[in-house]
Amino acid sequence: MQEAIIAEGLVKTFGDVRALDGVDLSVPTGTVLGLLGPNGAGKTTTVRVLTTLLRPDAGRAVVAGIDVLKHPNQVRRSIGLSGQFAAVDEYLTGRENLQMVGELYQMSARDSKARALELLEWFNLSDAADRPAKTYSGGMRRRLDLAAALVVRPPVMFMDEPTTGLDPRNRLALWEVIQKLVEDGTTLLLTTQYLEEADHLAHDIVVVDHGKVIARGTADQLKAQVGGERVEVVVQDRDLIGTASEVLRGYSRDGVAVDKHTRRLTIPVQGGAKLLAEVIRDLDARGIEIDDIGLRRPTLDDVFISLTGHHAEDADEDEQDTHASGGKSGSGGKTAAAVPAAGDSGKDAA
Amino acid sequence: MTATDTTTVVPKTLAPKTRGGVAQSVHDSLVIAKRNLIRMMRIPEIVVFGLIQPVMFVLLFSYVFGGSINVDGSSDPKAFREFLMAGIFTQTVTFATAGSSAGIAEDMTKGLIDRFRSLPMARGAVLTGRTIADLVQTALTMVVLVAVALLVGWRIHEGLPKALGAFGLMLLLGYAFTWIGALIGLSVRSPEAATSAGLIWLFPVTFVSNAFVPTAGMPGWLQTIADWNPFSATVQAGRVLFGNPGVSQSDAWPMQHPVWASLFWSLLIIVVFRTLAVRKYRSTTA
Ligand SMILES: Nc1ncnc2c1ncn2[C@@H]1O[C@H](COP(=O)(O)OP(=O)(O)O)[C@@H](O)[C@H]1O
Ligand SMILES: [Mg+2]
């Protein structure tokens, strides 16, 4: 079995909304696919179809070698789902939650118990094992939810925006768990609105918007689509934008992009750091004071803009908060995360 | 270990092959029932408030209406209290179904239902488990209520086995009504709506009946409805089996054969509404 997940021509409409409009996917066994798109793009709907929760209007899906529409119950034995909202029973303890899930996967009571113990330890929840999940912090709940998805060590995992709403520390911890799973050979389909998350975790990325796949490839391939490096300059004096533009034109065959409002000038370049130094010297020689200058490599956000004409963030104003907290965390260094979840054990739940 | 083992090992699911069939349905329903009973223990308010209302009804009806309603030609308040209890007991088992509506509606709004639906579990076990847990709760409520009834002077006159039979019929009706409650809970959008929707229909069903007043005083058409009301059959069966006064003398078949009528109605309701509820559950994409 080469492909752990195959989707062909998935269509799903809700009234007038075409939530999925012919989505094709394939995920090789043991790899991570990042399904990337703004709010309402159809990510959750895709996951729901692939995890047997929703019947598509058209199309075909095969997960773990089994036809999703024909044999949903067999598919369910081989998948784990961690949905967009933590799916745990608040009044049950962590242990009871995991045991219940094990028993509903048809494991014996004894096996469920043993597996629950193992997972509680692995997810740093042993201390809180016998407290109702209601008393857990957000990060702990997420971990319990993920543990529940892993009860049967499913070969294929689906995670729908697993880090949405998590603080940076918990986010990094979760990334480590995900990487560990993948090292163990699990195939993972992960949805995210965070471009850097897909960049960081996924082998392949599929960008969806309005229920359609608008791009696919590795992060590097997608970035290459947008073009290479650029030099960006912000000049101090608005009146000198024209002069600066003249200087920069000497370094670019494709012209200079000028944003008068932010006093930002951008040119595509190839020379890298060496060229940057030349540009600085040249501007200096003309007496142009600069507020900021830098070499910019394209991010997936640039990919998004070039594909859809808007920022990923623009899709939904309400989501601004989560974006703001999510957008910056990735660069915060990796020191905070220990295996598999740092700090945040039983203590922080008041 | 051979050299080829160095490639990553794809995990194999720990989930056993599903058994399917009745055995799995029973197993899965019991797992869910256990979950709901644990919740019940952790939210004792639900049980407590479930008790207050029927106890209040016993006391209010006994002392407010007792003496002003004739039972078998007697206005003795004691006769009315004996008459009343089968009605209150049966009303209690049916009113408990409002909790099922709300509980199921609440479950459906939580992500937990997606987890259940993504597991290889028996269809309908989420609902069956809930109805079983609700039945256990109702049975506990009944125990307390019987104690209160005995305190206000209610007695059984036909022996314990028949009385137990009567309680069995009442619980069966309550179980049947739980499936109606489940369907309501699946059909509304929010737990709040489910709480009212799950309660409203119970008022006409329990009041257009022989539960609180003898039907003889109702207009003819209303009496016909009351006589054929599934709820009335169980109340009548209760009175007959407890040996309480006020047994309806109506010619309607359910009033003449209340035990059979009660059994028939309950089983019919279970078959119809369980089918509808399970179908609804499976098609709901909430
Ligand atoms: N159950 C539903 N009923 C009606 N519309 C829905 C339903 N689920 C999703 N949609 C619509 O389908 C589109 C895709 O939704 P979704 O898959 O949840 O997007 P995403 O997860 O990428 O944010 C959205 O426009 C959404 O409003
Ligand atoms: Mg979503």
Burial of A317 (0-12, 13-18, 19+ CB in 10 A): exposed
Q: Kindly tell me if the per-residue pLDDT of A332 is higher than 60.
A: no
Question: What is the percentage of chain A residues whose pLDDT exceeds 70?
Answer: 86
User: How far is it, in rounded angstroms, from Cα B75 to Cα B67?
Assistant: 5
Q: Identify which has the larger pLDDT, B68 or B246.
A: B246
**Residue A117: what pLDDT?**
96
Which is higher by pLDDT, A176 or A84? Answer: A176
Boundaries of every domain in chain A: 3-224+304-338, 229-296
Question: Mean of the per-residue pLDDT values for chain B?
Answer: 89
Q: Looking at this predicted complex, what is its ipTM?
A: 0.86
What band does A343 get if pLDDT is binned at 50, 70 and 90? very low
Place of tokens 């307390």: B144
> How confident is the model over A331-336, as a mean pLDDT?
32
B213 compared with A35, residue with greater pLDDT: A35
| Chain B: closest CA distance from residue A137 (Å) | 17
Residues A205-250: tens digit of each pLDDT: 999 999 999 989 988 888 777 777 788 899 998 888 989 988 888 8
Residue B99 has pLDDT above 80, yes or no: yes
Kindly give the pairing relationship between strand A187-192 and strand A230-235. unpaired
Angstrom distance (rounded) from CA A91 to CA A214: 42
| pLDDT grade for A311, boundaries at 50, 70 and 90 | low
Q: What is the pLDDT of residue A344?
A: 39
Selecting from A52, A78, A89 the residue whose C-beta is nearest the C-beta of B112 gives A89
Q: Please check whether residue B189 lies inside any domain of the structure.
A: yes
Q: Is A44 in the pocket of ligand 1 (CB under 6 A)?
A: yes
Give the three-class secondary structure for B74: strand
Report pLDDT for B2.
Answer: 41
pLDDT at residue number B272: 98
Residue A345's pLDDT is: 39
pLDDT of residue B114 exceeding 90: no
- Return the closest-CA partner of residue A82 out of B169, B124, B112, B40: B112
Residues of A in contact with B113 (CB under 8 A): 87
Calpha distance A190→A158 (Å, rounded):
6
* Residues B136-164: tens digit of each pLDDT: 999 999 999 999 999 988 999 999 999 99
Q: Report the share of chain B in percent with pLDDT over 70.
A: 96
**How do residues B45-87 score in pLDDT, each as one tens digit?**
888 888 888 889 888 888 888 777 888 888 888 888 899 999 9
Q: What is the distance in A from the centroid of ligand 2 to the CA of A44? A: 4
**For atom 17 of ligand 1, which residue has the closest CA?**
A42
Ligand 1: atom nearest CA of A20 is 14
User: Which pLDDT band, with edges at 50, 70 and 90, does B285 fall under?
Assistant: low
pLDDT of residue A255: 80
In a domain, B207, yes or no: yes
User: Residue B71: helix, strand or coil by DSSP?
Assistant: strand
> What is the residue range of B85's domain?
27-284
Residue A55: band (very low, low, confident or very high) from pLDDT cuts 50, 70, 90: very high
How confident is the model over B172-201, as a mean pLDDT?
A: 92
pLDDT at A334 over 60: no
Q: Check CB contact under 8 Å for A83 and B43.
A: no
If you ran DSSP here, which 8-state letter would residue B118 be given?
T
Q: Residue A102: closest CA among chain B residues belongs to which residue?
A: B15
Is CATH 3.30.70.100 what the domain over A229-296 is classified as, yes or no? yes
Query: Which stretch of A104-113, A332-341, B103-112 has the lowest confidence by average pLDDT?
Result: A332-341
Residue nearest to atom 16 of ligand 1 (CA): A42
Q: What is the 3-state secondary structure (H, E, C) of chain A?
A: CCEEEEEEEEEEEECCEEEEEEEEEEEECCCEEEEECCCCCCHHHHHHHHCCCCCCCEEEEEECCEECCCCHHHHHHHEEEECCCCCCCCCCEHHHHHHHHHHHCCCCHHHHHHHHHHHHHHCCCHHHCCCEHHHCCHHHHHHHHHHHHCCCCCCEEEEECCCCCCCHHHHHHHHHHHHHHHHCCCEEEEEECCHHHHHHHCCEEEEEECCEEEEEECHHHHHHHHCCCEEEEEECCHHHHHHHHHHHHCCCCCCCEEECCCCEEEEECCCCHHHHHHHHHHHHHCCCCEEEEEEECCCHHHHHHHHHCCCCHHHCHHHHHHHHHHHHHHHHCCCCCCCCCCCCCCCCCC
pLDDT tens column, B183-193: 999 998 788 89
What pLDDT is stored for residue A346 in this prediction? 37
Give yes or no for residue B119 having a pLDDT over 60.
yes
Which CATH code fits A3-224+304-338? 3.40.50.300
Cβ-nearest to A104 among B11, B113, B121: B121
* Alpha-carbon gap, residue A249 to A255, rounded angstroms: 6
Question: Tell me, what's the pLDDT at A274?
Answer: 82
B8 within some domain? no
Contacts of A30 in chain B (CB under 8 A): 8, 10
Q: What would the mean pLDDT of A120-138 be, rounded to a whole number?
A: 94
pLDDT of the residue at A33: 96
pLDDT-based confidence at B42, cuts 50/70/90?
Answer: very high
Which has more confidence, B109 or B25? B25
Q: What is the pLDDT of residue B224?
A: 94
* Sheet strands side by side (includes A230-235): A257-259, A264-268, A230-235, A290-296
Tokens of residue A192, six digits: 């995210």
How many A from CA of A324 to the centre of ligand 2?
18
Of the pLDDT bands very low, low, confident and very high (cuts 50, 70, 90), residue B262 is very high
**Would you say residue A326 has pLDDT above 80?**
no
Residues of chain A numbered 147-206 and touching chain B (CB < 8 Å)? 148, 151-155, 183-187
Q: Would you say residue B247 has pLDDT above 50?
A: yes
Domain count, chain B: 1
B contact test, residue of A2, A12, A106, A164 with most B CBs within 10 A: A106
What is the best residue among A10, A21, A45 to mutate for testing ligand 1's pocket, by most ligand atoms within 8 Å of CB? A45
